[in-house]
Amino acid sequence: MTMNKENKIEFKPIGIIHSPFKKPGEAPTSTNRGEGVEGTIELYPEYQQGLADLDGFSHITLVFYLHLSEGYSLMVTPHLDDRKRGLFATRSPHRPNPIAVSVVRLLKIEGTTLHIAGLDMLDGTPLLDIKPYIPRGEKDHFVKIGWLEGKIDRHRK
């Protein structure tokens, strides 16, 4: 990552995500909905050493660039609602900084290829980072889900 004189932040992808979804609208709206969908990550060779010990994790968190996202609005109508909501209270892919985070299942690693499942991203998505998924063990009764209360069960189907 670099920051230039204009206060712009620049990231360099570490790889490319390959999925069966080719264009916006084809991908599931969450990894829960993409549960059976498999794909791969093509990690650039210079980052291969960073994969050491990752194969012991069942799930990984991917940070990626929404390369086909265009424009944004600060008020959006999310797919689980018929009312406009603030952009930052949604998971809309149309954002001021089009980045996203998803937890996927790690099936296996072969060299610089990671086989993954539970995809919700498009083919050719630039990968910015990989982190092991570590459940924190917080109790659900401490979590509030705002306007999604009562709607989230429909989303999991």
User: Which tokens go with 51?
Assistant: 């994969």
Handedness of CA 93, 96, 99, 102 (dihedral sign): negative
Residue spans of beta strands (DSSP E) within the chain: 2-3, 9-10, 15-18, 38-43, 59-65, 75-76, 85-86, 99-110, 113-117, 125-132
Question: Residue 18: beta bridge partners?
Answer: 40
Domains delineated in the chain:
11-155 (2.40.30.70)
- 146 pLDDT tier (thresholds 50, 70, 90): confident
d(CA 101, CA 46): 23
Full-prediction pTM beyond 0.75?
A: yes
User: pLDDT tens digits for 12-46?
Assistant: 999 999 999 998 878 776 556 667 899 999 999 99
Which comes out higher in pLDDT, residue 141 or 49? 49
- For position 36, what pLDDT does the model report? 82
Q: Give the three-state DSSP class for 142.
A: helix
